[in-house]
Each structure stands twice: as C-alpha cells, then as structure tokens.
Amino acid sequence: MSLFPTEMESERLRYERVHPEEFDAYELYEHVQAGAPHVDELTKYMTWDPHAHPKESFDWVEQAGEKFDDGEAVNYLVRPTEGERAGELAGTAGLFADWDRRRAIFGTWFRKPFWGRGYSGERAARMLELAFDRLDLELVAVAHDPENENSRRAIEKYVDRFGGHKEGRLRNEIVIDDEPRDVVQYSISREEWEQHRN
C-alpha cells in the first residue's frame, strides 16, 4: 500500500496518479507542448514553460513517479467524469508534503477549456481531505502570482469556504524565466477545515 492513493474521485472529477507505470507522457505533451492551444495562457504564471520536446514531458512524469514512490509528493491527472469532455485530461492536481513542518503545499493547473467550471474548488476540497484525513498533516498552503486574477478568485473562494486565511505577499518567493517573483500565499489549518468541511 502506498502512502498516497493511486486514484481518487470527487463529485465530477477523477484523479489518477502521474506515474510512468500507468501514464503515457505523450498525452501530457499533447496539451503542454509549445504551440498547443492556449498553452501560453496556461503557463504565463507557472514556473515551467511549454515543453519543447516530448522528453520534457517524459522527464516530468518520471520525476512525479519517483516522488510518489518516495512519499514526498503526489501529482494527479484530473479528468471530468461527466459531460461532453468526460475522460479528457483537464489538468493536474499536486500535493507536496513538507513532513517536518506538518504541512502540504498545493499546486494545480487546468487547461483553458476547463476554466470557470468550479473544478479548482472541487479539487481543493478533495485534496484537503487527503492532506488532513489520510496524511495527518496540520496545515495546507497555496499560493498564486499577484497578477493571476483567475487563480486569486478561485483560491480565495475555497480558502474562505474552508475558514482559511490570506497569509500575505511573499517577496521573491519563486523564479520564473530566471527572474524572482512574488507570490500571494494562503493557508488552511486542520481545525479550520474541520469546522467548515460540511
């Protein structure tokens, strides 16, 4: 049995672990390669660029599998379970465990056709359950680029729903295109989540 589930479901979404044993990296590459529809909008605020070659996608899948096997992190492929795009790769949902601090850091992205459907909040609710109920962590942190309004709205909505707080602006926290960038960080504690989970 692995520390992280290999698959999960929520109301409208299915989560499948990213692992080289089960996932063909070409499916990822199709959507994140340079020139793919909307990929520049997707990666504008990300710490990664569109993939120039399939090997970048294969390497990412390989690294995700190693982190899963080592109990460091899990990345899930997110697929809708209903509607005209059922089964299609919508994006990824990541949970990175900081065991020493008893916290998880969330990371996610969705392809543009899946924006505005409430998937980010649904994904967050499922990942909070994983962090607190299964992994026995005490805190979840999530951040966005200060200029990323779509992420801000989505994050604030579910942070408020689960009683969390805006921590503030962390300066020069990440690097994008070799330049340090600020992020706005939020957190939700286990106690806050337990009070607001239903």
The whole-number pLDDT of residue 197 equals 86
- CATH code at 77? 3.40.630.30
Please tell me the distance from the alpha carbon of residue 130 to that of residue 149, in angstroms, as a whole number.
Answer: 27
Question: Residue-wise over 66-83: b if at least 16 C-beta within 10 A, else e?
Answer: ebbeeeebbbbbbbbeee
pTM of the model: 0.94
- Provide mean pLDDT across the span 119-146: 97
In a domain, 110, yes or no: yes
Neighbours of 25 (CB within 10 A): 20
> What is the number of domains present in the chain?
1
Q: What is the pLDDT of residues 51-94, one digit of tens each?
A: 999 999 999 999 999 999 999 999 999 999 999 999 999 999 99
In a domain, 27, yes or no: yes
In a domain, 63, yes or no: yes
The whole-number pLDDT of residue 89 equals 97
Question: Range of 92's domain?
Answer: 7-196
Q: What is the pLDDT of residues 90-114, one digit of tens each?
A: 999 999 999 999 999 999 999 999 9
Candidates 52, 161, 47; CA nearest to 105 is 47
Phi first, then psi: give them for residue 15, nearest 5 degrees: -120, 120
Confidence band for 198, pLDDT divided at 50, 70 and 90: confident
In a domain, 11, yes or no: yes
- Provide mean pLDDT across the span 131-138: 98
In a domain, 167, yes or no: yes
In a domain, 117, yes or no: yes
In a domain, 121, yes or no: yes
In a domain, 2, yes or no: no
In the predicted model, what is the mean pLDDT of the chain?
96
Would you say 57 and 24 are in contact if contact means Cβ atoms under 8 Å apart? no
**Ranges of H-type helices in the chain:** 25-32, 39-43, 54-69, 119-129, 149-161, 190-196
The whole-number pLDDT of residue 1 equals 64
> Is the pLDDT reported for residue 119 higher than 70?
yes
The residue whose two tokens read 């607001």 is 196
